[in-house]
Amino acid sequence: MSKNRKTAGYLLKTYPKLSETFILNEILELERQGVSLHLFSLRKPTDEKNHPDVDKVKARVTYIPTLLPNFSFPDLIDLLKVHGQLLSQSPRQYWQALQFHLQRPEKKRWNEFLQAGYLAAKMQELGLSHLQAHFANIPTATTEIAKIFGNFSYNIFAHAKDIYLTEPEVLDRRISSAEFVLTCTGFNHRHLQSISQSNTPIYLSYHGIDLTRFTSASTKQKTEVPLILSVGRYCEKKGFPYLIEACRQLKQQGHKFQCDIVGYGPMQGELAQLIAELDVGDVVSLAGKMTQDELVKVYEKASIFVLPCQVMDDAIAMEFPMFY
């Protein structure tokens, strides 16, 4: 099939994902600017709810068969069928991809190799010549192999732990085979430039937000008791235990307040236990998952935004105090 240069491939680990609003916003903005996309997802979504804006996305989504997190015999059959076709079409190219996978110094994940072949076959079937891999870890590791199978170009959008939990030499190799790299902070940009030994361009591309959705709320909308708001995944790097401990101290000092922590993640049980142990259940609440529309309404009631580990741009746009 001839190359379709009007449509770009777009690879994600999981789509849609409630905590990755920045990716949803990027997809919508690219489509608004006339870019045609075909989305590929390495995993099927597990969130019970989605942002309403997901329904605005025009791009088709291909879910690549996977053996993770749970083994699926039908998916294995689908993957092996495609690999049989790739092997018969180009034994030399198949051997090159297999050899590359086996010689990589990082942990050998056969699911990546199998998915890479499927991704390459789909790229070829759709006539796509370029792919953006979101995150420099598993999506890019899969794309590296798929490129050998399929002879297409790719770029990386690197974000956070995918940069800092990947060995520098591995990251350098992935950068060197990419057409270009995007990243979302100045610190990331400087770090990637210091690692890269190639001439691959690395560009700074901030995640934007729609300021019409996040506007300063009137005083009348605030709660009578000051509401402390925090938002993020319930994981170690977000630092929520420190916030809960701070709330314990505020309570002991006699301050009147309510603290809502919006999010979800692996530490939910641990955080709930800490809230009980510190006896702050009357002032601290784990509010759980929310869509962006639901979250805006909570922002409007909040007096202070607190996130122990990082600054959130949407809180700045709402024009109320932040502590981190």
Give the pLDDT confidence of 43-74 residue by residue, as tens digits: 999 988 899 999 999 999 999 999 998 889 99
Residues 157-175: b if buried by 16+ CB within 10 A, e if exposed:
bbbeebbeebeeebbbbbb
What per-residue confidence (pLDDT) applies to 319? Answer: 53
What is the average pLDDT across 132-141? 98
Site of tokens 């235990």: 241
- Is 318 a residue whose pLDDT tops 60? no
The owner of tokens 């210091």 is 194
* Biggest alpha carbon–alpha carbon distance for the chain: 74
Mean pLDDT over all residues of the chain? 92
- The pTM for the full model equals 0.87
DSSP readout, 26-82?
A: HHHHHHHTT-EEEEEEEE----S---GGGGG--SEEEEPP---SS--HHHHHHHHHH
Listed residue (87, 90, 63, 88) closest to 74, CA to CA: 63
pLDDT score of 310 more than 60: no
Confidence of residue 323 (pLDDT cuts 50, 70, 90): low
In the predicted structure, residue 163 carries a pLDDT above the cut 90: yes
Report CA dihedral (124, 125, 130, 133) to the nearest 10 degrees: -100
- pLDDT value at 88 more than 70: yes
Peptide bond into 308 cis (omega under 30): no
C-alpha to C-alpha distance for 297 and 287, rounded to whole angstroms: 13
Res 3: pLDDT? 62
Question: Tens digit of pLDDT for each residue in 230-286?
Answer: 999 999 989 999 999 999 999 999 999 999 999 999 999 999 999 999 999 999 999
Do you know the residue count of the chain?
Answer: 324
Give whole-number Cα distances, 71 to 66, 111, 172, in Å: 8, 10, 32
- Please state the rounded mean pLDDT for residues 162-169: 96
Domains, in order of start, for the chain? 7-204 (3.40.50.2000), 219-323 (3.40.50.2000)
Q: If pLDDT is split at 50, 70 and 90, which confidence band does 106 have? A: very high
Residue type, 99: Q
Q: Is the pLDDT of residue 221 over 80?
A: no
